[in-house]
Structure 1
Amino acid sequence: MISLLSLPSEDASPSTSETVPVLISGAGPTGLLACILLAKMGIQTRLIERDMTVSSLSKAISLHPRTLEILRLTSPDLAARFEKECWVSHKGRMFFGGRLTAEIPWCPATESQFHYTWGVPQTTTVKLLTEEYERTGMGSIERGWELVDTKVVEGELVKELDGSTRTNPSWVETTIRRAVKGTNKREGESVVLGTVDMAGEDEGKEYEIKVVKSDFLIGADGGRSTIRHVLDIPFPGRTRDSNIILFDGHIETDLPLDEMASINGSNLHTVGMFPLCGNRVRFLLSDGTLTEEEFAARKTKTPTKEYFEKLLEETVAPHKIRVLSYNWLTYYRANERRATEFVHKQRIILAGDAAHCHSPMGGQGLNTGLQDSYNLAWKIGMVLKGTAPLSLVDSYNEERIPIADEIIALSAKSLTMLISENYFVFQARKAALSLFSYVLRYLPLGAGAPNFAMLNLRYYGNSLNKEHGAQKYASTAPASIGKRAPDDVLYPLTADATSTRLYHLMDIPGAFQILVFTANRMVQEQDLEATLAGNIGHYQGSWIARWPGTRADTSFVVNTKKASPQFIVHVISYHGSRVIINTSSNMSKAPGYGRVYLDSEEQDLHKRYGIASEGGIVVVRPDTHISYRVASIDKAAWADVDEYFGSILCGS
């Protein structure tokens, strides 16, 4: 593929028209992570944001285990900086009528390095991601600029000197503006969280206007997405008629503030309490159902401190509570909606709240947006580098829409549990918790549960995820196509060296990971090590030559301890193979070029990947989902993997 940067632009002067490979609208977590990942693949981006400053509101406060894995895979240092800023929830408390009815320890997510959800205010998330983006040296946030119009311009037919014709690639043409005086904020904009309506225009305001040409536009501009409205992409779903008050501030109370809690008051109102730091908390307080008039008016007024505090006191009684100060007090409108398409003409892509929105229950929104970027960035990077065809971007649409639907359904159920003020439902919940409080301790609930931890979200068969033609591997089997690649501890060949984790070998944005599981064949077959080394050298060298890769050659990206191409090979053998393997020759291999690691004595990784005695090769996509597998490590199996790459990537 030819990048737009190589196309002529005589039709616009440099003062009014600019060109960039990827334009991103919206400098929230979703847009920032996309920029970081693209930068680490050597792709220049331009990130615009309407707001002049970062919001001081806490907004999303949860990072789930799968998202924490993504941050660690993006940058080990980034994950470490998040860890310094977080708090960890280990259990939840349920109160009914002032009485502690159940105290439920969350089930740890043992299949991940990160066992629990981390509590981090969105202000901190944006701060840390912004710092990481700026560290790449590939761009910074351009504040005060907002997108007002965009379209895909179809490629033109060009006649060559020899009489042949070719079609130039399509591109995106976007108009952006910045207020000459003041900001781009408009009067009368709704301050209610969850609003999806477009804001009106202010008359008589002067703007500086520019046109930006790009290969791709990522719309991470929130629930009110201008991009979605401009392209007239439907956003079907529903707006819940529940009235919810959202509070973020400091309180004085006799309730414990060390863990999350759901407090079901005798007044049939319920409040979800989420500790932030010290005596600072987040409350979600149910406040009945909107009247038809309030629903039509979108309830734009702000609740008063007096009204909120009175309702809160009645709900938590006989416990005592007093509001000392607040950063945020607003009504929340729960919209459960999903755009009908995430990819428009293969060039404009919606991500985060612009593509899907729902209630904050379960803390899935920000996490889903970050995972949108993790699915998308490597695909755009490969297209721009000429490694993959433009059609690869369509798989984002195929894969993320079902995930969005799943998350919306999960969040809707969680919200319904919180807001129900029916007396019989209230009593049923209370009785169930009283009766099963002991059993609940052993159920996979809360932050470590697969649904909430987001570790079991998967993609299915498509143009990217392919089953082996002659081998049938059940979709319900371990590590089947489309599932998240399992992680676990690996051991070096020398007993005195330090162990590592598989995911710690895979933190290379834009790289396919080829995992070669030998089972016990290293012990049983004397010549296997040399044969395997030959196949790895031949095929890995061929792939690197045919598809040079998306890695940037900048110092912040390249880790000298790891291979830099986009095809990384790791060999994983049974633990007992240590006595057979030629340690000196394998230890001299660079990580990622066939170095051998040992599974645990219980062969945990072999089991998690469903590897039988014949061994197997598993292809893991750059976003650590499994896209292909073959139940053998012989020469024919390598030819099958080679054929798979040829089917999804551009021709040599």
Structure 2
Amino acid sequence: MGSVENKVRHVDVLVVGGGPVGLVLAYQLARFGHSSSIAIIEKHPKSSQDQYGRAITLYPRSTEMLDQLDLADELAQECFACRDTVSYDKDGNEVQGRGWYFMENMKDTQWDFALVLRQKYQEEIFRRRLREKGVMLETPVELVSVTVDENIPSGGYRVTALLKNGVTGGEETVLCKYLIGADGGRSFVRRALEIPFEGSTTEDKWVRIDGIVETDVPKSRVYGAFESPTHGNVLWAALDHGATRIGFAFTAERQKGHPEFNEAAAVAEAIESVKPFKLKFTQVDWFTVYSVGQRVAKEFFTKDCIFLAGDACHTHSSGAAQGMNTGMHDAVNLAWKLSMVLRGLAPSSLLSTYESERLPNVQKLINYDKDISRLMTMQLPADWSGDPNADPNEILGTVMEEASTFTSGLSIAFGSNNVNVPGTFKSNVDQAPVKSGQRAPDVQLQKPATFEATRLHKEMPNIARFHAIVFAGEPEHTSVYLKEFSAAWEKSKMFSGVSPISWLTIPAKSSPSAYELLGVAPFGKVFYDKDQTAHSRYGINVKEGAIFVTRPDGWVGTAAALGGDAVEELELSSLKELPLHPLTLNPILHDTKREQQQQPIMQYCFVEGNFADLSRDLAEYLHISTEIEPLLEANTKDEVLKKLVTASAALNTYPEKEFTAAYNLLVYLVMQSPNVNMFLPRMCEHLSKPITSAPLNGSGLALNVLTTIFNLLQPDNDVRWNVFSAILRLVKNSGNFEILRPQLKKLDQWIEEWELDEEDQRKLYGQLADVAEDAGEQGESYQFILKALRTFPASEVSTKEAQDLSLRALKAALISSTHFDFHDLTSLPTIQALSDSHAEYSELLEIFSEKELEDYTDFRDENEDWIETEALDNSALHRKMRLLTLASVAASTNSKELEYKRIAKALQVPVEDVEMWVIDVIRAQLIEGKLSQQKQVFLIHRTTYRVFGEKQWREVATRLDTWRSSLRAVKEVISRERQQAEAQKERELHEAERKIAGASGMGAGRRAPGGRDNMIEMGTD
């Protein structure tokens, strides 16, 4: 057998572990723009893992964090939302205030309930959302070795990971800057790095079993506790999809009755555990038995490049249902910090706060868990000093109540550090309700004009940006503070477009005009707090106002008193580590800018003076005084500017502050020339090159200058196109596509103003496609490629440029996890021309456009070498073809019922995998319907034709005929029923008339023609 080639690839981050923690970590990094530079692997094939079981509960703070990541709504669609609890004593009597009672008092949040959804379903959602961001979970792929080269500087590719494919046996080497071990309690990463896992495992064993049950428990769809004398404090949890989880202590005494622990034993013990209530399992989904213990890794972050998260760095019992919640806190705490460091928006020292913030909270959880796990097995805490005969169930209720806000996550807080800095803000109450390092409470707000209700968290999504919230109070009282702050804000170096800060302004009342209400231009978006509940919740005096800065993960970084000193205070607080540059009001890149009605004006330095004096100042700084003096004497200003612009290339080596000041002056001088277009292309060229004096912030410095130039040029100036191209090159290098996205709405207008020909349009679209692709925005990139393809005239559709671009579009569509309709490609002449030059690609497109899995497998078998040569991911293509095939099969089914067996045959999968594929195709929005597990059929509500031709017209005609026949039959039934009803009515009328006539002696009367208006014709006496 020949050896398998060991491939090498480079990524910024390798996530090891495809459970919820790893998936949410990878999803965040993809969301923050790192899709193309991360990878996530999972050792176990998901199809063979337990389909149910494991973690089930998300507490409010976890759900809040997922909500700010745009994940919570989908979880809520499938979950069991648990707001009710119950506790029963050993005799089946309801006991108040024990067990899970604290859940009924989880307030101060929109998500005031336990979101119960089994891990299987959560992972499905996380995987799909990750795929939508362009990142696939690689499985089964195992990490078999990991080493760190500490001679390579921090931030370099110092981690070497060797991966092994569980199917092919092939090995691959991955070089990465950072590696995250989210690979569970038996973490290979932790063991490979020899990180101690401190703690112990007890002799206690617990059982968990999920399934569909029949029971006489009075309150069964709740979170419940049964105080069993034989099985400890028994967990009863209502689950998603009508299921129930039961968990109990499996004592040594109970173990004696079961030589082998199997499903029958789990069911039998579950029935015993809830007595005196009756219990019957009609379906068992999952069960397990495990040993209880608590362990914590000595380090969560080691060697400046390796992280541990979730169970890899802390394990504990499931007594308080904290496992997945704690892992979610790890994932959300780490991702934004890592993203900002990778993007050069924060120093690497920020990463150390992951361990310093998470470790104390994990240790606090472990301490709670030790007591809770003992109490649930009817043992008093190890350090118990009270009544030795105390009832563990009663003490358990007290402990869980004391830990309630920590358990819910709403009181989890962090100590002071570089991003948690106590500020000058003083609350109007003795005990400030919100402090640095605490969760920023969610509060109700109203949008301007419509007064539509919204929430603060909804307006502060986690996109790896800080949020600065100006609580403006009542402007009639705070106007002086607002004006002072506004003046300082204008002069600050804090608010450039590249600085990761978004602004919100919240006045404590509403108005038809936010501008008129505030008396100054608003800071970012405005939301009203007309009932002042937001100010109250944050402890803010409405006559004074305040400024709160929240971190991307939703914790408060600092809070300052509103006023002129606030800007300097904020610069020295949570935001001091960020790359904050002198303000240039550049709407093209600053999505949180204040509203400006006038033309933006740059803050120039050294602008007091005439052209000659200012030119001399800059020339002296650039060491070219002797060269420009004769030119100044000759009053040849353009020649002076040529010298200055040429020499400005040296500014790329100057310190940051000097770079900005010098370029401000140069732009000011150049913009005074009537021949400004003569100089700007050279300036763009210089600014596009690396600024060696600022390796982290250089792109931001250059972007500030370029966007100011762009805004100062007239809209119809052709050079605006050159400046914009330079901006694109810098955005591409920085990877921050988000700052560009809002302005792309103006692209068509700009193209028209610049009068770009087809070739220049194509060049522009190509640049935009590259920028979007590098930022991980595959969908945006694809759309720009299509626009570029539409610029080719008929005479050029077969050129190399057209064909290369066509192949790029086709490959992007094929590998995309969300692109299923290929008509946007098949209609393009450049794509059609591939049939002559690239027959295999043309055939593959035809298969994905209208054919099925069998056709693809035939193609794959015939073109295996070609697929490998073209570096096409066969597994991804195969999966996508299965989804498309299922859509086709569903569309061709007249009965609206599709048997599992037929699906399995069409997709070439086992019947037990059918439901997974149906769920995926529904989520891909190719089909609408629902599964009937009892009938083993898929009930189709709506389907999509992949191609609509003669065959489909015939199908539609057949269905119309069927529909027409059905309507005809219905019409006949209705007509028959109506005739029968009218006949019955006529008979009843005759009978009524007969009785009336008999009762009144009018027997001689007779029916007259003419209907009911002349019902009786009277005879004469």
* TM-score bucket of the superposed structures, by smaller chain: 0.7 to 0.9
Cα distance, 1:233–1:329 mapped onto 2, change above 3 Å: same
Cα distance, 1:14–1:154 mapped onto 2, change above 3 Å: farther
Q: Give the match for residue 623 of structure 1.
A: 553
2:477 to 524, 527, 535: 524
The DSSP-based 3-state class of the residue aligned with 2:250 is strand
Q: Give the match for residue 134 of structure 1.
A: 131
Q: Give the match for residue 524 of structure 2.
A: 594
2: CA distance between counterparts of 1:587 and 1:131? 45
Residue-by-residue CA offset, 1:156-203 (whole Å, 9 max, x unaligned): 58xxxxxxxxx984621111112355xxxxxxxxxxxxxxxxxxxxxx
1: CA distance between counterparts of 2:58 and 2:559? 30
Residues 305-320 of structure 1 aligned to structure 2 (within 5 Å): 305-320=263-278
Cα deviation, residue 426, structure 1: 8.9
1:515 to 469, 481, 485: 469
Q: Give the match for residue 346 of structure 1.
A: 304
Q: Give the match for residue 253 of structure 1.
A: 215
Matched, 1:304 2:256: no
Matched, 1:111 2:66: no
Which amino acid in 2 is paired with 1:109?
M
Are the counterparts in 2 of residues 288 and 421 from structure 1 also a CA contact under 8 Å?
no
Across the aligned residues of Structure 1 and Structure 2, the Cα RMSD in angstroms comes to 3.5
Residue-by-residue CA offset, 1:589-627 (whole Å, 9 max, x unaligned): 6xxx533322242x2222322323432211111111111
2: CA distance between counterparts of 1:168 and 1:95? 56
2: CA distance between counterparts of 1:32 and 1:456? 25
Which amino acid in 2 is paired with 1:505?
E
Are the counterparts in 1 of residues 180 and 306 from structure 2 also a CA contact under 8 Å?
yes
Residue-by-residue CA offset, 1:332-387 (whole Å, 9 max, x unaligned): 11221110000011211000000111111121110111111111011111111111
Which amino acid in 2 is paired with 1:343?
F
Are the counterparts in 1 of residues 376 and 393 from structure 2 also a CA contact under 8 Å?
no
Matched, 1:24 2:15: yes
Residues 59-98 of structure 1 aligned to structure 2 (within 5 Å): 59-75=54-70, 78-98=71-91
Are the counterparts in 1 of residues 60 and 114 from structure 2 also a CA contact under 8 Å?
yes
Residues 481-560 of structure 1 aligned to structure 2 (within 5 Å): 481-494=436-449, 496-520=450-474, 522-524=475-477, 532-539=485-492, 542-545=494-497, 548=498
Cα deviation, residue 155, structure 1: 4.0
Are the counterparts in 2 of residues 269 and 419 from structure 1 also a CA contact under 8 Å?
yes
The DSSP-based 3-state class of the residue aligned with 2:524 is strand
Q: Give the match for residue 39 of structure 1.
A: 30
Cα distance, 1:22–1:60 mapped onto 2, change above 3 Å: same
Residues 97-246 of structure 1 aligned to structure 2 (within 5 Å): 97-103=90-96, 106-137=103-134, 139-156=135-152, 169=156, 171-180=158-167, 207-246=169-208
Residues 432-451 of structure 1 aligned to structure 2 (within 5 Å): 445=401, 449-451=404-406
1:363 to 291, 297, 321: 321
Are the counterparts in 1 of residues 225 and 235 from structure 2 also a CA contact under 8 Å?
yes
Residue-by-residue CA offset, 1:223-266 (whole Å, 9 max, x unaligned): 00000000000001111221212212233322242112211234
Which amino acid in 2 is paired with 1:451?
F
2: CA distance between counterparts of 1:369 and 1:629? 28
Matched, 1:418 2:414: no
Are the counterparts in 2 of residues 219 and 354 from structure 1 also a CA contact under 8 Å?
yes
1: CA distance between counterparts of 2:301 and 2:413? 19
Are the counterparts in 2 of residues 155 and 169 from structure 1 also a CA contact under 8 Å?
no
Are the counterparts in 1 of residues 142 and 165 from structure 2 also a CA contact under 8 Å?
yes
1: CA distance between counterparts of 2:423 and 2:155? 36
Structure possessing the higher radius of gyration over alpha carbons: 2
Cα deviation, residue 510, structure 1: 0.4
Residue-by-residue CA offset, 1:100-156 (whole Å, 9 max, x unaligned): 23255643432111111111000011001111111112x110001111221222245
Cα distance, 1:583–1:124 mapped onto 2, change above 3 Å: farther
Matched, 1:272 2:235: yes
The DSSP-based 3-state class of the residue aligned with 2:180 is strand
Are the counterparts in 2 of residues 514 and 619 from structure 1 also a CA contact under 8 Å?
yes
Larger RCO: Structure 1 or Structure 2 (Cα < 8 Å, ≥ 6 residues apart)? 1
1:382 to 306, 325, 340: 340
Residues 456-467 of structure 1 aligned to structure 2 (within 5 Å): 456-467=411-422
2: CA distance between counterparts of 1:421 and 1:141? 43
The DSSP-based 3-state class of the residue aligned with 2:165 is strand
Cα deviation, residue 315, structure 1: 3.1
1: CA distance between counterparts of 2:444 and 2:483? 25
2: CA distance between counterparts of 1:616 and 1:100? 52
Are the counterparts in 1 of residues 486 and 564 from structure 2 also a CA contact under 8 Å?
no
Q: Which one has a larger percent strand, Structure 1 or Structure 2?
A: 1
2: CA distance between counterparts of 1:470 and 1:572? 16
2: CA distance between counterparts of 1:470 and 1:72? 28
Are the counterparts in 2 of residues 489 and 600 from structure 1 also a CA contact under 8 Å?
no
Residues 276-295 of structure 1 aligned to structure 2 (within 5 Å): 276-277=239-240, 280-289=243-252
What is the TM-score with the length of structure 2 in the denominator? 0.51
Cα distance, 1:168–1:114 mapped onto 2, change above 3 Å: closer
Residue-by-residue CA offset, 1:375-426 (whole Å, 9 max, x unaligned): 101111111111111111000010010111122222333222221168x989
1: CA distance between counterparts of 2:346 and 2:371? 39
Cα distance, 1:637–1:176 mapped onto 2, change above 3 Å: same
The DSSP-based 3-state class of the residue aligned with 1:34 is helix
Q: Give the match for residue 573 of structure 1.
A: 507
Which amino acid in 2 is paired with 1:641?
L
Which amino acid in 2 is paired with 1:261?
G
Matched, 1:454 2:409: yes
Q: Give the match for residue 9 of structure 1.
A: none
Which amino acid in 2 is paired with 1:524?
H
What is the TM-score with the length of structure 1 in the denominator? 0.78
Residue-by-residue CA offset, 1:78-99 (whole Å, 9 max, x unaligned): 3221111011222222222232
Which amino acid in 1 is paired with 2:22?
G
Q: Which one has a larger percent helix, Structure 1 or Structure 2?
A: 2
1: CA distance between counterparts of 2:391 and 2:304? 50
1:608 to 522, 533, 537: 537
2: CA distance between counterparts of 1:641 and 1:83? 37
Cα deviation, residue 69, structure 1: 0.7
Cα distance, 1:290–1:405 mapped onto 2, change above 3 Å: farther
1: CA distance between counterparts of 2:570 and 2:139? 45
The DSSP-based 3-state class of the residue aligned with 1:130 is helix
Residue-by-residue CA offset, 1:554-586 (whole Å, 9 max, x unaligned): xxxxxxxxxxxx2111112222x6389535999
**Kindly, what percent of the aligned residue pairs are identical?**
26
1: CA distance between counterparts of 2:447 and 2:107? 22
1: CA distance between counterparts of 2:429 and 2:416? 12
